[in-house]
Amino acid sequence: MVERVGFVGLGTMGLRMAKNIAHAGFDLTVYDRLEEPLAEMKELGARVAGSICELAEQSDVIEIAVSPTNEVENVILGPEGILASARAGTVIDSHSTILPVDIQRIAAEAKRRGVHLLDAQMSGGYRGVEKRTLCFMVGGDAAILERCRPILNASGSEVYHLGGIGAGAATKIAQNTILAGTLVATAEGFALAKGSGIDLEVFQDVIHASAAQSHVADDWMQTWGIRVQPDAYKWILESALSMGEELDLPLPASALTKELIPKILGPRPSS
């Protein structure tokens, strides 16, 4: 069966993912509020829907890459959202990072209407999309994931099934918690090296060859040290702390990292 794919949300990640799906040969319909990305996708042969409802009518599997939580809810549950016109058996792949409890609530409503939902979180950034090396962390029915795997493989090289709905979101927040701590530690390490007069390009090579190696350190001079968005990580850490409270699990390092991120990270020169 050749799936008809819909894609909602053509931002930094979404546009690149939609292009990969188009290049993979899928029958693709797209929707976004901005005209420019729609024009780009039309040139690649994708159909442009005039509304989310129209897209849902023409799609078997619908990819969503929007944020934050209330936008995800509006796209799926809103009066002109996907569920307003999707047929029973339609699959929604939600790539937006939201709390497990929120994606579970949305999935329950979708199931009530005969629509499947996968909690398909992703990691790797826009470079990962361009290289088709994204890591997908998926919660939901395993059989539905297998149905969608060829679509996810258009942008990802690693697709993991973590369990039921919410498992993908929990995994994404947990791995982002590690990432946030790594960002703070890497920033301080590079600051020490710079203050000591060490060539930062050479220092980056040293870290890559040492026990402190990480993806963050490998790209520090090219990406992370130039610009980081502290507000995004503040939300991630707040989400982690909220999950910790629900699990009666203290996360003191995450609480400290949440306070340190706005002080240590942010727009900065790369050298």
Q: What whole-number distance in Å separates Cα of residue 123 and Cα of residue 136?
A: 7
Q: What whole-number distance in Å separates Cα of residue 10 and Cα of residue 237?
A: 26
Of 155, 164, 60, nearest to 115 by C-alpha is 60
Q: What whole-number distance in Å separates Cα of residue 270 and Cα of residue 200?
A: 9
Q: Let me know how long the chain is.
A: 271
Cβ–Cβ under 8 Å, residues 147 and 170: no
Q: What whole-number distance in Å separates Cα of residue 28 and Cα of residue 4?
A: 6
- In eight-state DSSP terms, residue 124 is S
Following DSSP, what letter does each residue of 22-60 receive, concatenated? HHTT-EEEEE-S-HHHHHHHHHTT-EE-SSHHHHHHT-S
Q: What whole-number distance in Å separates Cα of residue 270 and Cα of residue 146?
A: 42
Alpha carbon distances (Å) from 265 to 107, 179, 190, 203: 35, 13, 12, 19
Does 111 participate in catalysis according to the annotation?
A: no
Q: Is the peptide bond before 68 cis (omega within 30 degrees of 0)?
A: yes
Cβ–Cβ under 8 Å, residues 104 and 73: no
Q: Which of 131, 172, 194, 263 is catalytic?
A: 172
Active site residue ranges: 172
